Amino acid sequence: MSAPRIAMLSVHTSPLDQPGTGDAGGMNVYVLELSRALAARGARVEIFTRATSSDLPETMALPGVDHDGTPLDPALDKARVREVLTATDVPAGVTPPILVHHVPAGPFERLDKNDLPGVLCGMAAGLLRWEAARRPGWYDVVHSHYWLSGQVGRIAADRWEVPLVHSAHTLAKVKNASLADGDAPEPPARVLGEEQVVAESDALVASTPAEAAELVELYGADPARVHVVEPGVDLERFAPMVAGLHRSPDEQRAEARRALGLPTGGEIVLFAGRVQALKAPDVLVRALGVLRATGRPVPVLVVLGGPSGRSTAVRELQALAAVTGVADRVVVRPPAARDELATWYHAADVVAMPSRSESFGLVAAEAQAAGVPVVAAAVGGLRTIVDDGVTGLLVRGHDPRRWADALSGLLADRERLAAFGAAARGSAERFGWDAAAEQLLKVYEVAREHGPR
């Protein structure tokens, strides 16, 4: 299967959405970047996601070229879509376009993620209609992301008699084992749905060996069908600051801060992600409170993200900062566009990830690629990304006192901080989307060898 036709399913969130708010996060980046890397190898990738607005076009093409090498307009009419989709010959060296299909299923807006199981039948019906409009056997593989997509994918894979490859991204049993106080557990329906998808997938893709072990131990997955494929990092976009041109890294950091409207002096800790209990930015706010109460220097905490789960999540975090006495040291900004994110990393002395569970932790990998040390919770994939004592620190548990000690000690040791940053880039270079795409193509081939479903 050198150049397969892939139905990529991302039901509950579009890869075109802004990461860092709502349900958009690392998975959105994963689907988009993986699709680009697969297309660069000649794969025909179509991404199916639920339409969340009546203004969205039925199909969009990611910027690129058509099968004949001509520029492709992102806004395609139906006739042009059919022409692009039915083209069978792609010249060597030409990257085929990636199409994003917005499938109507349920109300466009104000539908909570927990309500999405009720629209999966509509999503599956819409997906099957796309295939029915083409010649039989158009798709070679279905690759689903998150359990909701897996439920739709198992129907499509059965109907088309092609393998189902599934990436869980997060697992309910893992999340429920590490809930924050007051956080609602994942419902039993999700646990059951994940068990069904795991049982029926021809191949399961885990981001780390730890996630692979969880699939086997918690969900009874067949070890022979679990494949570890580490996600990639855009190593060109996230590059470290380079000394030279009469500007030291400290001067470049100050320049980045001025561009972002941040204080140029003092230490900055950056949290980039959704503001929700799972990501635990409250632990960092409480750690600042510990530092102030014990008379130690208090860095500025920049929270770069929007609310998720509860619309009031950001206001609640700001209220916590006020109650803790550190409101003057907490800056909240909306999620940044991908092209601006490297500047935010460069503006920080440390990137902090106190997540309660994390299947991979793309922010940690991006920050290290940008040459910035990471202080992270010793959970899930973060244990794979952060080399404790070499590229950053791993903190056990979520006690604010431990986090205060870790941040304070590292920020006070500028020599150690610089050494961590220098080592971080080399560590991140082992993550590449090219390598991930190559491994995924092999996984697709192995899944096909299982024979018809």
| Shared domain check, 126 and 45 | yes
SS (H, E, C) 125-150: HHHHHHHHCCCCCCCCEEEEECHHHH
Query: Is-above-0.85 flag for pTM?
Result: yes
Q: pLDDT of 246-302, one tens digit each?
A: 677 788 889 999 999 999 989 999 999 989 888 999 999 999 999 999 999 999 999
For residue 95, give the DSSP letter. P
Task: Tell whether residue 222 is among the known ligand binding residues.
Answer: no
Q: pLDDT of 175-202, one tens digit each?
A: 898 888 878 888 999 999 999 999 999 9
Rounded CA separation 111/426 (Å): 42
Interstrand relation of 203-206 and 226-228 (parallel, antiparallel or unpaired): parallel
Cβ neighbours, 10 Å, residue 252: 18
| Shared domain check, 206 and 293 | no
Task: Tell whether residue 134 is among the known ligand binding residues.
Answer: no
237 domain-assigned: no
| Shared domain check, 185 and 44 | yes
Rounded CA separation 190/390 (Å): 38
Task: Tell whether residue 450 is among the known ligand binding residues.
Answer: no
- Percent helix / strand / coil, the chain, rounded to 5: 45, 15, 40
| Shared domain check, 181 and 293 | no
127 domain-assigned: yes
419 domain-assigned: yes
344 domain-assigned: yes
pLDDT level of residue 66 (50, 70, 90 thresholds): very low
When divided into structural domains, the chain yields a total of: 2
Task: Tell whether residue 345 is among the known ligand binding residues.
Answer: yes
CB-based contacts of 104: which residues, under 8 Å, 6+ apart? 50, 51, 122, 126
Nearest to 145 by CA among 210, 194, 212: 194
Sole residue written with tokens 């879509």 = 81
CB 164 within 8 A of CB 201: yes
Cα–chain-centroid distance for residue 319?
28
297 domain-assigned: yes
Task: Tell whether residue 241 is among the known ligand binding residues.
Answer: no
| Shared domain check, 265 and 144 | no
Task: Tell whether residue 251 is among the known ligand binding residues.
Answer: no
| Shared domain check, 217 and 305 | no
Nearest to 190 by CA among 227, 226, 131, 147: 147
Give the CATH number for residue 405: 3.40.50.2000
| Shared domain check, 307 and 442 | no
238 domain-assigned: no
The mean-pLDDT minimum among 67-71, 108-112, 299-303 falls in 67-71
Task: Tell whether residue 211 is among the known ligand binding residues.
Answer: no
Q: Distance between terminal CA atoms of the chain?
A: 17
| Shared domain check, 394 and 355 | yes
Task: Tell whether residue 279 is among the known ligand binding residues.
Answer: yes
Task: Tell whether residue 219 is among the known ligand binding residues.
Answer: no
pLDDT level of residue 14 (50, 70, 90 thresholds): confident
Task: Tell whether residue 170 is among the known ligand binding residues.
Answer: yes
| 153 has pLDDT over 80 | yes
Range of the domain at 124: 5-232+433-448
| Shared domain check, 205 and 288 | no
Task: Tell whether residue 366 is among the known ligand binding residues.
Answer: yes
Nearest to 207 by CA among 6, 357, 409, 417: 357
Task: Tell whether residue 227 is among the known ligand binding residues.
Answer: no
Task: Tell whether residue 1 is among the known ligand binding residues.
Answer: no
Task: Tell whether residue 346 is among the known ligand binding residues.
Answer: yes
| Shared domain check, 178 and 117 | yes
Task: Tell whether residue 146 is among the known ligand binding residues.
Answer: yes
| Shared domain check, 9 and 118 | yes
453 domain-assigned: no
| Shared domain check, 271 and 226 | no
CB-based contacts of 5: which residues, under 8 Å, 6+ apart? 43, 44, 46, 138, 139, 140, 141
Nearest to 304 by CA among 337, 277, 326: 337
78 domain-assigned: yes
The CA angle 20-25-30, to the nearest 5 degrees, is: 140
